């Protein structure tokens, strides 16, 4: 099989010199194995720490991965300008996660966002102030979505940052099509607001197991899966924060970081292996730009992704690219 893959790949290269090597190897693997690609969708909520922007981008480049970054717009404005943000049902300037340190911090973050986009990653929305909107109506959610777009779109001008990329406004208007609600709110009011604002998908739900998204009247809805974890194999949402609460009740225990890393890695790998050898539903995993328990969950993710994302029949990609691939497959 390996020799067949290499021979076929070399032949293709001779006729298509500009072909993407990684992409074509995956296509050949799919055709010769008879199985669909195994998709892995890794995402990050908040996306504020510039050091972790750099770390995640460098890791992705070295390991054939593309990530989805759910950005919170309060990290594109300094605290001094906080009253420019008007959250639903609250006074202007409120935020559960603070604001950017200063304009230099924002400038670096904006560059990461643009460079990540150029590298094939997806920039999506996490709203602004990280509020629990379970009591919000669709009008409230619409206000939050509008604030995200306004603040993000005007971030260069508002912060007097030079060298705004050509096409920044169009990018914000047309390419930010995904949303993850803080606290994973995914009920009907937010769904309606997302449809009204032209979003293609939400990734806010929780599913019993890895599964394809549901089509909710034109809005695709992804759910982070419950995966078995730990000695008792109890299900936990495949997200670093949920593992953090499971392992240490949400309090730092750096002395146990290696244990927590190993448990998380094993849970990720076990969930992957079940899909890889079975029905190959997409495996979703969520993280934050916070190194909980001394970075145990990021290290577990990097170990896992470093092993699987380089496989010829695995595609570690963004939510939007997954939807594009599924549409392409359905259209023949």
What pLDDT, in 10s, does the model give residues 10-31?
222 222 333 343 444 455 445 5
Angle of helix 21-33 relative to helix 2-15, nearest 10 degrees, comes to 130
CATH fourth-level superfamily of 37-330: Glycoside hydrolase/deacetylase (3.20.20.370)
130-169 core/surface letters (b: 16 or more CB in 10 A; e: else):
bbebeebbbebbbbbbebbebbbbbbbebbebeeeeeebe
Q: How many residues does the chain have?
A: 332
**Residue-wise pLDDT tens digits, 163-201:** 999 999 999 999 999 999 999 999 999 999 999 999 999
Name the residue ranges covered by the structural domains of the chain.
1-34, 37-330
31-45 core/surface letters (b: 16 or more CB in 10 A; e: else):
eeeeeebbbbbbbbb
**Residue-wise pLDDT tens digits, 266-300:** 999 999 999 999 999 999 999 999 999 999 999 99
Question: How confident is the model over 190-217, as a mean pLDDT?
Answer: 97
**Residue-wise pLDDT tens digits, 115-150:** 999 999 999 999 999 999 999 999 999 999 999 999
6-10, 296-300, 325-329: the lowest-pLDDT one? 6-10
Please give the helix or strand (H or E) that residue 301 lies within, else none. Answer: helix 292-308
The overall average pLDDT reported for the chain is 91
Angle of helix 292-308 relative to helix 240-248, nearest 10 degrees, comes to 130
Indicate the pTM of the whole model: 0.90
Establish how many alpha carbons lie within 13 A of residue 317's alpha carbon, considering only the half-sphere containing its beta carbon. 19
Residues in contact with 193: Cβ distance below 8 Å, sequence separation at least 6, in sequence order:
138, 139, 141, 142, 144, 145
């Amino acid at each position: 099989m390996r020799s067949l893959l290499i021979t076929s790949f070399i032949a293709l290269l001779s006729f298509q010199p500009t072909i993407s090597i990684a992409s074509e190897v995956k296509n050949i693997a799919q055709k010769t194995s008879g199985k669909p690609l195994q998709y892995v969708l890794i995402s990050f909520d908040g996306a504020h720490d510039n050091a972790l922007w750099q770390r995640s981008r460098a890791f992705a480049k070295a390991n054939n991965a593309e990530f989805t970054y759910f950005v919170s717009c309060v990290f594109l404005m300094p605290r001094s300008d906080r009253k420019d943000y008007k959250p639903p049902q609250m006074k202007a300037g409120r935020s559960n996660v603070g604001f950017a340190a200063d304009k230099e911090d924002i400038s670096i973050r904006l560059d990461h966002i643009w460079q990540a986009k150029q590298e094939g990653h997806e920039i999506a929305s996490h709203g602004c102030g990280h509020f629990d909107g379970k009591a919000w109506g669709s009008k409230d959610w619409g206000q939050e979505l509008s604030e995200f777009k306004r603040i993000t779109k005007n971030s260069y001008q508002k912060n007097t940052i030079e060298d705004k990329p050509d096409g920044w406004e169009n990018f914000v208007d047309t390419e930010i099509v995904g949303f993850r609600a803080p606290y994973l709110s995914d009920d009907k009011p937010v769904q309606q607001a997302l449809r009204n604002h032209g979003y293609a998908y939400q990734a806010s739900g929780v599913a019993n197991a890895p599964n394809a998204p549901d089509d909710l009247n034109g809005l695709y809805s992804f759910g982070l899966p419950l995966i078995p974890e730990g000695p008792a194999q109890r299900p936990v949402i495949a997200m670093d924060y949920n593992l953090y609460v499971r392992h240490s009740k949400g309090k730092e225990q750096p002395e146990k970081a290696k244990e927590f890393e190993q448990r998380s890695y094993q849970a990720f790998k076990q969930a992957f292996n079940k899909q890889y050898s079975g029905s190959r539903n997409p495996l979703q995993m969520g993280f934050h730009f916070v190194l909980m328990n001394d970075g145990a969950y990021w290290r577990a993710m990097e170990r896992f992704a470093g092993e699987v994302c380089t496989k010829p029949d695995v595609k570690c990609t963004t939510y939007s690219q997954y939807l594009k691939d599924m549409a392409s497959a359905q259209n023949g």
